[in-house]
Amino acid sequence: MTPQSYFEQAKRALHLPVETKLQSAYQFGVDATELAQLVLTGTKTATTSAYDLYETNEPLPQVGAYDVILDGQQNPVCVTKTDHVTIQPYLAVNAQHAFNEGEGDRSLSSWRRAHTTFFRQEYQTEGHQFNPQTAQMVLEQFHVVYPAK
């Protein structure tokens, strides 16, 4: 099933207006299937992306928007609704956000280790160097709306 057809199914089940749009369909991090399962179970309710790597006209996530979360094989797992979006320095990410990301032992130190490694690779892939002192991050909070629990 394509992400769009999955979203159409979710719209019908949730009785959303026909004009409701899908913001995006995406995978998380290095183990997309495991992270998608954390979202599905409600353990992962936040994510972080590098603001510095957004294209000039690329839209930021929007509060109230819907996304389809994909597993490692690009299969839809669930639909989320964005609750909160902020941009802040990498070093300002706090323990609550790290906990809400639901990964590892859910501590800030674990989050920093994993995300420093991840963002170094992401920045390098884009031809940039990751600097924790200056990097700006997009922090999102969301919840699963489909399938309903």
pLDDT digits over 3-13, tens only?
Answer: 999 999 999 99
CATH code of the domain in which 118 resides: 3.10.400.10
**pLDDT value of position 149:** 62
Q: What is the pTM of this model?
A: 0.92
Nearest to 138 by CA among 53, 51, 24: 51
Please give the radius of gyration of the chain, using alpha carbons only, rounded to the nearest integer: 15
What range defines the domain where residue 51 resides?
A: 3-146
62 three-state secondary structure: coil
Residue 29, pLDDT score? 80
Any residues with CB less than 8 A from the CB of 119 and at least 6 apart, and which?
50, 90, 130, 135
* 131: confidence class by pLDDT, cuts 50, 70, 90: very high
CA distance 64 to 14: 14
From the CB of residue 148, how many other CB atoms can be counted at a distance below 10 Å? 10
| Overall domain count for the chain | 1
Q: Which residue has the tokens 């940039």?
A: 128
pLDDT in tens, 110-122: 999 999 999 999 9
Tens-digit pLDDT profile for residues 68-77: 999 999 999 9
